[in-house]
Structure 1
């Protein structure tokens, strides 16, 4: 059976209480410190796994929002067409660029 995060924390608290009360002899101390290190690694791994899973959930939510937002269709007829700029008529010119009149 896999140790749960809650069980690991509870065991760590038990080890800590035993260490604080000096009821652990030196031979047992090494074993408890090693077990504590295992439990801390397990808790860190479970926290990372949970964080990754939560990040994926939010990424999926963000992606779902992006997919559900469709851009508005482009209109084929503009609502407003600015008037064309007025052109000043040019006087007719000959081939050398001189005015004809």
Structure 2
């Protein structure tokens, strides 16, 4: 699995694997590989979600800092 895999691609692949498992189209020999691949994809999705959450938190923190700085500057101007 590469880091180039997008969240959407990972979810789509997980859905494909799940559909195959639900319809019993996966033979026993392939089952282990599919389950391992699913675990990799889930880890990737979790990592991407954590990264997105962290980035969003940073954006909001910067906005709050900018608001506080503007309020401070406005208070000094009076």
Structure 1 residue runs without a partner (length 5+): 75-101
Query: Which one has a bigger Cα radius of gyration?
Result: 1
Aligned length: 74
Partners of 2:77 and 2:42 in 1: how far apart?
55
The alignment's TM-score, normalised by the length of structure 1, stands at 0.69
Which residue of the other structure, out of 23, 33, 36, is the alignment partner of 2:35?
Answer: 33
Q: Which has the higher contact order (CA 8 A, sep 6+)?
A: 2
Structure 1 outlier segments of 4+, above 6 Å = none
Q: Which runs of 5+ in 2 are unaligned?
A: none
Q: TM-score, normalised by structure 2?
A: 0.89
Q: Aligned-pair RMSD on alpha carbons?
A: 1.5
Q: Please give the alpha-carbon distance, in whole angstroms, between the structure 2 residues aligned to 1:59 and 1:24.
A: 47
Q: Judging by fraction of residues, say which structure has more helix.
A: 2
